[in-house]
Amino acid sequence: MSRYTGPKLRILRKLGDLPGLSRKKSKKTLPAGEHNQQNKKPSEYLLRLEEKQKLRFNYGLNEKQLFSTIQTAKKVQGSTGTILLQILEMRLDNTLFRLGMAPTIPAARQLVNHRHILINKKVVSICSYQCKPGDIINIKDKKASVSLIKNYLEFPNLAHIPNHLEFDKNALTAKVNAIISRDWIGLKLNELLVIEHYSRK
């Protein structure tokens, strides 16, 4: 399954607030779908599926990428659900989004793909690059790159930068100080249901 490029408000109405997907807010309060199915009790499978879809749409992953990330998380000692979220949060595209350098994760992905971003003074064009403690993130010293980032910073999307990151807005330089803790992950979901969803396959 390829990356989703359809209407975003429909997804937000169905799954709730996904800050990484879109800044838009729907005026409609009922979920998308025929007759809204308000009174229908969701099955256990549907609950797990929706939690998995929240991860996919918020972080902009296709099915294969998410499955591969879960397999990686299972190999690391500790809570698989927490490690999964940490891997996703430490991706370069998400890190730029959390720093406020981009309004959404798709916008951050475009910055990376167009080679505007430097990690430790080297251009990185891979969105899934795993940021590590000690990494220094800079903007390419070009007028177009700097102008684009400054334009995004004028309209910040998130109220606070997570405590594992520090950002100098004047120098447009950021530093990764640590691996993000579960408390600072802004997406509201039960990651254990995602792990259960894939353990049944």
- Per-residue tokens: 44: 């256990």
Architecture of domain 91-178: Roll (3.10)
Average pLDDT over all residues of the chain: 86
Q: How far is CA 28 from CA 1, 16, 82, 110, in A?
A: 28, 12, 33, 30
Q: Residue 23 above 60 pLDDT?
A: yes
CB 187 within 8 A of CB 58: yes
The residue among 56 and 200 whose pLDDT is bigger is 56
Q: Residue 126 above 90 pLDDT?
A: yes
Question: Do 8-87+186-199 and 91-178 show the same overall fold?
Answer: no
> 22: pLDDT confidence band, cut at 50, 70 and 90?
confident
Hey, what CATH topology would domain 8-87+186-199 get? Answer: Ribosomal Protein S4 Delta 41; Chain A, domain 1 (1.10.1050)
Q: What is the DSSP string of 89-157?
A: HTBHHHHHHHHTSSSSHHHHHHHHHTT-EEETTEE---TT-B--TT-EEEE-SSHHHHHHHHHHHTS-S
Spell out the domain ranges in the chain: 8-87+186-199, 91-178
**pLDDT tens digits for 89-103?**
999 999 999 999 999
Radius of gyration of the CA atoms of the chain, in A: 18
* pLDDT at position 179: 94
Note the pTM of the prediction, 2 decimals.
Answer: 0.86
Q: Residue 163 above 70 pLDDT?
A: yes
CB 133 within 8 A of CB 179: yes
